[in-house]
Amino acid sequence: MVARLVIAAPSSGAGKTTIATGLMAALVRAGLAVSPHKAGPDYIDPGYHALATGRPGRNLDPFLTSEDLVAPLFLHGARDADVAIVEGVMGLFDGLPDGYASTAHVARLIDAPVVLVVDATGQGQSVAALVHGFAGFDTRVRIGGVILNRVGSDRHEEVCRAALDHSGVPVLGVVRRTPGVETPSRHLGLIPVAERRREALEAVARLGDLVTASCDLTALVALAHTAPPLAADPWTPGEIPAPRTRVAVAGGPAFTFGYAEQAELLEAAGAEVVSFDPLRDERLPEGTRGLILPGGFPEMHVHDLAANEPLKREIAAFGGPILAECGGLLYLARELDGHPMVGLIDAKSHMSPRLTLGYRDAVVTADTVIGRTGERVRGHEFHRTVTDLPGERVYRWRGGADGYAAGRILASYLHLHWAGTPEAATRFVKECG
C-alpha cells in the first residue's frame, strides 16, 4: 500500500504549489522517500516537485491517458516510496463538464484523502462555511484536513480555528503570510526550474522550512496512511531491451516540457534516449537516428537559439524522423519573432496576447512518424504564440485543427502523453531504422 495525499484548493491561486512542494521537501528532510505527482497536464510544477524529492515529477491525467491508467501510473511512479503527494490543478472540482479530469476525479481514481489549502485572506468564520461546502459537495471525495494559508495574525488564526472546530475537518497547518516565498511567474505560469536552478533550489528549501514550521507533519503522514490499498497493478513501459538506435531529445532551459513516461516507452521500444541543449550544443549527439523537440520556452531564449548556427544547420540537414511539440514547432519554423530558426517548416511564429489552452480530442488525418490516419488522440494545447503553418492540418477536432506533417517530420502545438498512446514510441523507434 502507498500512503498518499492530494493537495487541493477551492480555486487557483490559493497556494497549492507552495504547500505541496514545501510538504514534499519537509517530508524528505524528515527521512521519507516521497513520490511527487501533479494532477493535470502541467509541466512546470513537476520540475519543482522533482527538486524537492529527487524523483521525477509525474502527471496523473485521465483525459490524456484514461481513467483506467491513472491508478497504474500512480503506482508506477510511487514504487518504493514511503508516501506520495499529489498536487491538484485549479479548484478541487474544476475540470471538464461533470468534473472529468479535475483534482477530485484524480483523488477518487487513486482513493486518496484530500488536504484542502484555503487562502484565509479576508476571511474569518466564512472559512468554515467554505470548508463545509467543499466537504459535502461530493461525498466520494474525502477531505481529511485543512491547511490555512496566508493567515495574517494570531487573532486571525484564532478566529479561523474556532470557526472550523465544529466542521469535522481538522486544521493540519496554519501558514502565515510570508513575503519572499513566492516563485516568480510569467506568461505561462511559474518560471521552470531549468532556467533558475540555483534560485529554485533555494526556494524549495525555504518552502520546506515554512511547511515544517507551520504544519503538523505527523498528522499529515498519518492521514496519508488512511488511504486503502489500490486494486491495480503498476503501469509498466515493458521490458527494456538492449538499445538498437539512438533518439536525441532537446532539453536545457528552452525545452523543458515533457512527461517521464515518454523516455521510458522509447527505451522499452529499443531506443537509447540522450539529451542535448540547443542553447549550448553545436552538434546533435553522435549517432542520433531520431530527434524529439519537446515544448518549452524557446521564445524566451530566441536570441541564443538563433545564434547557434551550427546546430540549426545540422538539424536542417537531419534525415531521420523528427517529432516537434509546441516549442519544438517554433524552433523548426523559419522565424520566431523575426529571428531565424531552423527553417525545416516554411512558417513564421510570433508571440500573441491570446492564451490558447485546453484539451483536444483529435482525429489523425494523415500517416505520421507516430500516428496513423483515422486514429484518435487526446492532447493538450498551452501557448501564447501563433504559427502560420503551411499545408493541411494533421490533427482535427471539433472547432479546430493543428499540426504539420511532411516526409519524416511531425510538428504540432498538441502535447501528447505517450502512456495514452504507447504505440507512438514503437512507431517512432521503427522510423529510426
d(CA 400, CA 381): 11
pLDDT digits (tens, 9 = 90+) for 263-319: 999 999 999 999 999 999 999 999 999 999 999 999 999 999 999 999 999 999 999
**AA letter at 144:** G
Q: Is the pLDDT of residue 187 over 50?
A: no
d(CA 172, CA 364): 48
Which pLDDT band, with edges at 50, 70 and 90, does 22 fall under?
very high
For residue 181, the model assigns a pLDDT of 64
Mean pLDDT for the chain?
95
Which pLDDT band, with edges at 50, 70 and 90, does 321 fall under?
very high
Secondary structure class of 245 (helix, strand, coil) = strand
Q: Is the pTM of this model over 0.85?
A: yes
Residues making up the chain, counted from first to last = 433
Q: Alpha-carbon dihedral of residues 260, 266, 308, 403, nearest 10 degrees?
A: -90
Closest among 43, 219, 44, 34 to 115, alpha carbons compared: 219
Helix intervals (H) in 95-151 = 103-109, 126-137
pLDDT digits (tens, 9 = 90+) for 202-221: 889 999 999 999 999 999 99
Average pLDDT estimate for 39-63: 95
432 given a catalytic annotation? no
pLDDT digits (tens, 9 = 90+) for 240-255: 999 999 999 999 999 9
d(CA 284, CA 298): 18
Q: CA 424 → CA 78, 107, 212, 270, 377, distances in Å?
A: 24, 28, 43, 13, 11
**Burial (Cβ within 10 Å: 0-12, 13-18, ≥19) of residue 157:** middle
Sheet holding 3-8, edge to edge: 58-60, 34-39, 83-87, 3-8, 114-119, 143-151, 171-176
Q: Which grid cell is 62? A: 485521465
Q: Cell numbers 495514452 label which residue?
A: 420
DSSP for 347-380 reads EEEEEEEEEEEEEEEEEE-S--SS--TT-EEEEE
Which pLDDT band, with edges at 50, 70 and 90, does 99 fall under?
very high
Q: Is the pLDDT of residue 330 over 70?
A: yes
d(CA 343, CA 141): 50
Q: At what angle do helices 154-164 and 126-137 cross, to 10 degrees?
A: 40
CB atoms within 10 A of CB 275: 14
Which pLDDT band, with edges at 50, 70 and 90, does 188 fall under?
very low
Asked if 368 contacts 377 with a C-beta cutoff of 8 angstroms, the reply is no
Pairing mode of beta strands 404-406, 409-412: antiparallel
Average pLDDT estimate for 222-247: 96
Q: Cell numbers 472550523 label which residue?
A: 164
Q: CA 302 → CA 177, 308, 310, 337, distances in Å?
A: 37, 10, 15, 8
CA-CA-CA-CA torsion sign (189, 151, 116, 94): negative
For residue 200, the model assigns a pLDDT of 83
Q: CA 317 → CA 202, 280, 283, 321, 390, distances in Å?
A: 42, 19, 12, 12, 20
pLDDT digits (tens, 9 = 90+) for 339-352: 999 999 999 999 99
Q: Which grid cell is 288? A: 542520433
Q: Is the pLDDT of residue 186 over 60?
A: no
**AA letter at 25:** A
pLDDT digits (tens, 9 = 90+) for 138-173: 999 999 999 999 999 999 999 999 999 988 899 999
Asked if 311 contacts 400 with a C-beta cutoff of 8 angstroms, the reply is no
- Residue 249's DSSP bridge partners are 275, 292
Among 160, 215, 326, 432, which one carries the catalytic annotation? Answer: 326
Q: Is the pLDDT of residue 182 over 70?
A: no
